[in-house]
Each structure stands twice: as C-alpha cells, then as structure tokens.
Amino acid sequence: MKPAPGRLRRRTVGPLAAAVLAGLLLSGCGGQDAAKSAAPAGQEAQGGAPAAAGAPPTGKAPAAGSKGGASPGTDTGAGAGAGGGQAEQALARSAPQKISIPSLNLSSTLETLRQNPDGTMQTPKDPALAGWYEPGPTPGSQGPAVIAGHVTWNGASAVFEKLKTMKGGDTIKVTRQDGKTVTFTVDKVEEYPKAEFPTLEVYKNIDHAGLRLVTCGGNFDPKKHYYDSNVVVYARMTGAA
C-alpha cells in the first residue's frame, strides 16, 4: 500500500458507513518480503501487519470523527470487564508517542498511520514499531483508539509477535504528546478468522476511552504469505498521570 498523499481532512460518517469502512481496515499482517510493498492485512509478502505488520481485516478503516467506527448503538459498558478495573474519565485529544506493555517486555515509539487513497489503513513501515491510526480517537480520548503492528516480517519476529499471549488484567501504557501517560487494563484478547472479523465490536462508539491492539494470527500460508486470522486486544483506560 502506498502512503496517502498528504493528511486527510477529518470528516464524520454515519454509523452504517463507518461500519462498512471499518470492515476494510487492515489487510497486511505477516511480514514483508524485501522486494514488495506493504499490502492489506493478512499478507506477509505484501504487507505484514495491521499497517505493515499484523492487524485487522481486509477492509477500509473508519474515518475521522466516527470515533473509530460506529455501530447502531453505543457501548456504555464503562465498568469492569474480564480484566477488571473501572474506566477513567476520558481526556482531551492528544497524539500518542509511545506504547509499552510490561507483561511482554515491549516498548515502541509509534508511527502515525493514515488512510490510503482506497480507504484502507496504512500499515507500519518499520516491523519493529507499532502504529496509531490517526483518523480515529487518540489513546485516552473517548472512543476506541487503534494501534496496529506486525506479528512477523520476512520470517523474523516483529513488534506484536507475542500480542496473543496477553491476558485480561494486563496493563498497557501509552505516553501522549501532552505529557500524560495513560494506563489501560486489558478486558479480553480474542482471535477471529479474517472472514468473521467483528467490525462493530471493535469499532463501535463507546462512552469511555478504549484501546484496541491489532495484529495477525492463526495459521500462516507460506505460499500466499497470508495469516488467516486477526488477534485483537480490548482494553479500557484505568488511569492517567
């Protein structure tokens, strides 16, 4: 996928349109063969992650203003999930700069991912780095912020290789441009066949600050350079300092 020419203008889309766009979010998950450029989530040789690494389904990403995609309703479940912990009041928008996951001994600065001309989400260019989907919410602001990363790259481990091993109750920390470090607590970790990616559950409007980490998973087809599933970590903000 080629980077979109310039910054996209923010726009609001209706629930149905947002859901359709979200369904196309990420197509390239695995890892990229040196001679090929990043492609849709799920294909290692043409893009290896949710943005160049391992991420959501093949589809278009939700546009800005839709809070990361919409569903017919709003998730008001701001209470404790499987991971426990009460959601904190959402913060103003501020771009994220770094993500750290103590349980995985992972720390990564964040690339900024926008939309390609065809509406799909860009994937990280560096397999060692995760990327934040800029048209959506920022981590800590209301809505489901999305951070994607590759699972493998040219057969080697990438930033989100161990994402599927996370468990409810694990913590995620995101440092923002405004100097605040936001803590998220994992509610659940799910794996879905790409053809059954739960667009609405991942991108629907929510009344609190949520976070979705996305990469590829499942079985890898070396001939097609393709992972057949996506791993999604669902978390909610439980602290800010």
CATH number of the domain where residue 155 is located? 2.40.260.10
- Rounding to the nearest 10 degrees, give the CA dihedral for residues 9, 12, 18, 20: -60
pLDDT at 226: 86
Can you give the pLDDT at residue 189?
98
The end-to-end CA distance of the chain, in Å, is 37
* Assigned domain for 21 exists: yes
CA angle in degrees (0–180, nearest 5) for 64-28-67: 15
* 127 lies in some domain: yes
Q: Which stretch of DSSP H or E encloses residue 76?
A: none
> Is 4 within the bounds of a domain?
no
2 in a domain, yes or no?
Answer: no
More reliable by pLDDT, 46 or 104: 104
The three-state secondary structure class of 163 is helix
Task: Check the CA dihedral 7-119-56-11 and report its sign.
Answer: positive
- Return the percentage of the chain with pLDDT > 70, whole number: 64
Is the confidence at residue 49, as pLDDT, over 80? no
**Is the confidence at residue 45, as pLDDT, over 50?**
no
CB atoms within 10 A of CB 29: 45
* Domain around 67: 15-240
Question: What is the total count of domains within the chain?
Answer: 1
- What average pLDDT does the chain have? 75
